[in-house]
Amino acid sequence: MSDLQLPQAIDVEKCLLGCMMLSTAVIGNCVEVLDEEALHHPAHRIIWGRLLAMWKAGKAIDLITVTDALESAGELQEVGGPAEVTAIFNSSPTASNWKEYARILRAKWMARQAIKVADGIRAAAFNPAEEAGIAQLAQDGLVKIAGFTESRAETKHIRDVVLRRLDYYENVSKRKGRLEGISTGIRPLDIATRGLRPGNMIVIAAETKGGKTALAMNIAMNAAFDGYAVGIFSLEMNEGELADRMIAARAGVNMSQLGDEGFAKRDLDRAVRTASEISLTQIFIRDESVLNPLQFRAGARKLVAQHKCRLIIVDYLQLMQPTNSRDQREQQVAECSRTIKTTASELGIPIIVLSQLNENGRSRESRAIEQDCNIFAVIEQDDDGHWINLKYTRDCQGGRIPVTFRKEHVRFTERES
């Protein structure tokens, strides 16, 4: 496809630049949603850059000052001379239409990027030497396109923020013991955390075979039996293994004996009844050995849109694949952690992510996990039994919560006094 055939809107580019010349406020708004790549015409990119430089320097912006700045920088003739700058200045009668212009240009840019990615993939597909890199090429292109979205940030006056907080405090005072978020099924844990709250990233960390999946499945079932739809990304266990843990925990039967010939009929009957009960809940499992941050974000959105999931669980973080395999491992894990955090905030639901610990009791391979999360809970064991240690928290109580772990039933419960 020739350059002239690429998706573009040259007149709209002129109108947007005209809006920016008319109002410095528009420049501030535009930089939140666009960059110079959104402009297809080279001359328009030059003017964009000059306007941003003047705006950052706090200089007055109008037809005369912009023309003078372009001339001083030796750029005036490159953009078409004074007549062209004047035509751009007069292209939009009002600055108020900038948002629609920006929307059109963002769509055109994304279309150009899609064509570029497709051309690159096509060229690689015809080159045997590049066949192995096709998937990475496609992923990198999609990540760039997905990243070019309108900023969700909104400037808020402190007055409005404070008034909303006062409403929140009043609602809390009227809650009378009801949780703010989803119950974990372990009362002391609920009291400390106020439940699993919307937008929060909750990390459950432990050593290998330390009970991470068992605790997560206990929470998933409790939420599901409370009427919430739950989504589970399982990168380690298959769907059958997860179902075994849920059935054993709920029925109180020995998981290691499920499926054995010597399994007692009484326990089998209980397991069958429990399986029937669980089948009526809204639990959705995706067991996939390969999952990168981009795929996770898309899958999480789908679970919320199609199945109305109000809680998502990821088992476990270090098994997620990086978007860029060339990055250092710490950067790869940090990218996965940050994606989970932003997805929880974007979807307005709690996301529980399981994490391995290193020999020092910290999150394995990247401390970004601890920095990103709202709650970092570590499953611990000592001579007194098992504990859930709320090691790092943002806005709830910390400390160790005593629990009982019945390993044969893969079940965590509140420890009896």
pLDDT of residue 2: 47
Among 80, 77, 82, 104, CA closest to 19: 104
- d(Cα 313, Cα 316) in Å, to the nearest integer? 9
> Please, what sign has the CA dihedral across residues 290, 215, 274, 262?
positive
| Residue 201 DSSP SS3 | strand
Per-residue pLDDT at 230: 93
Residues of the chain with pLDDT under 50: 1-2
CB 139 within 8 A of CB 111: no
- All domains of the chain in start order, with CATH: 3-147 (1.10.860.10), 173-414 (3.40.50.300)
Helices in 264-407 by DSSP H: which ranges?
A: 265-279, 293-307, 329-347, 368-372
pLDDT at position 168 is 76
The pLDDT of residue 10: 92
Distance between CA 45 and CA 52 in Å, rounded?
11
The predicted structure's pLDDT at residue 36: 83
According to the model, what pLDDT value does residue 77 have? 92
Q: What is the pLDDT of residue 129?
A: 76
pLDDT digits over 259-295, tens only? 665 567 777 888 888 888 888 989 898 887 778 887 7
pTM (predicted TM-score): 0.67
